[in-house]
Structure formats: C-alpha cells, structure tokens
Amino acid sequence: MGKEELKETYAGHEIACHGVEHRYPTLLTEQQLVLEIQEDRKALEKLTGGLVQGMSYAYGNYDDGVIRVARSLGIKYSRTVNSTGGFFPPADFMQWHPTCHHNDSLLERGDSFLNAADFIELPLMYVWGHSFEFGYSGDWSVIEAFVEKMAGKEDIWYATNMEIYTYINAVKQQEFSADGTTMYNPTAHSVWVSTKEGFLEVKPGEKCEKNF
C-alpha cells in the first residue's frame, strides 16, 4: 500500500504505534525498547503526515518500565488486552483496559452499554481485536450486527482514542468556585456539563454560572 492510498484508506481513523517489529516490550533492553517505539512512531508519522501519540502494547506485554519509556517518547496512551467487561473511562491512560474483545459476548455487552447505569457519568465502551480474526471462522455477522446496533445514536459520541484522551483530560482541568456554582474552562477544548436546565457547552476560556 502506497502512502497516498494509505492516507485515503485510513481517513477518519486513528493510527497508533504497536512496535516497529512487534517484539515483547518487557524482554527488550531500554535501548531496544526506545528504538522499537520511536522508529515505529517516526515511520507512521512520515506515512500519515500527522502526530502519532497512541500505542497498544505488543502481545499485551508491559510493565512500569515500559510505561516510563513510552511516556518519555511522547506516547499519551496505550491499550492493554486486560478486558474489564465494564464501561468506566481509564484511570490511567497508559494502562487503558478495554471493555472486551470482539469475540467476547459482543452483542450482549453492546446491550449493556446502551443501558449503562446512571452512576457511570461518562460510560465508555472499548472493543479491541484484529480484523484478520474475522476470517478464521469466515463469519463477519457478529461485528456487522454490533455495528448496526450501535450506529446512528444521537447520544453516543463515536470518538478516537486520542479524542477521548484529550476530552477527559480537559474535563479534569476544569476550575470551580469555592461554593461550586461557577466553573471556568481554562483549556483549549469545549466541555459539556450537566445543569438543572440540561446539558451546556462551556467553550475554551468561558465561565459557566449555573446550578450544577
């Protein structure tokens, strides 16, 4: 696939690092690990013309040292293979645990997400897997049914990993008055808040004086 074809094929998708040679990260020396991540990132950025700041750990293999090196090389988040079955946003974006693999009760989990408990303020469903796995059984019906079930919902934000990372970090940077009635958005991104009057967009640099 040529550079221009790649750009066209993956338009609207987010491309992330996975290791230039797909080696086990924890078995590498620090120098090898730097090359494994950095060379992958450089190659992908050259191909796409954009920033590549995300990753998924090859073989789901990582430890604190791998996280430290990846973060030092400009990686903002990295997906694991440790499925939670839940819908909470990640507590640590460098250990972003997905909801489920696409072979793990996907349609049932989709139904659970559509009826997520109210106490989950920002429910997030994250499905991981590989498209080549669909070919093992020659059956694409499950993923097709899942896409049909989840598509076109006005109350779902269909976001990339980096969009979610950016938004949640913006939410965490909001500033409030001592009595909690005034909110200031110091970030470069709009955030939405739930007020007694409904949902309200607070644009960059704006204050929101509403009853939360």
Report which of 128, 130, 121, 127 is spatially closest to residue 149, judged by C-alpha positions. Answer: 127
Domain extents for the chain?
A: 3-164, 175-209
For strand 191-195 and strand 182-184, is the pairing parallel, antiparallel, or unpaired? Answer: unpaired
Q: How far apart are the first and last CA of the chain?
A: 51
Q: pLDDT per residue over 139-196, tens digit each?
A: 789 999 999 999 999 999 999 999 999 999 999 999 999 998 899 999 999 999 988 8
Q: How far is CA 131 from CA 144, 178, 191, 192, in A?
A: 12, 50, 33, 34
Pairing type for strands 182-184 and 207-209 reads: antiparallel
In this predicted model, what pLDDT tens digit does every residue of 92-105 receive, in sequence order? 999 999 999 999 99
Fold for domain 3-164? Answer: TIM Barrel (3.20.20)
C-alpha span between 145 and 137 (Å, rounded): 16
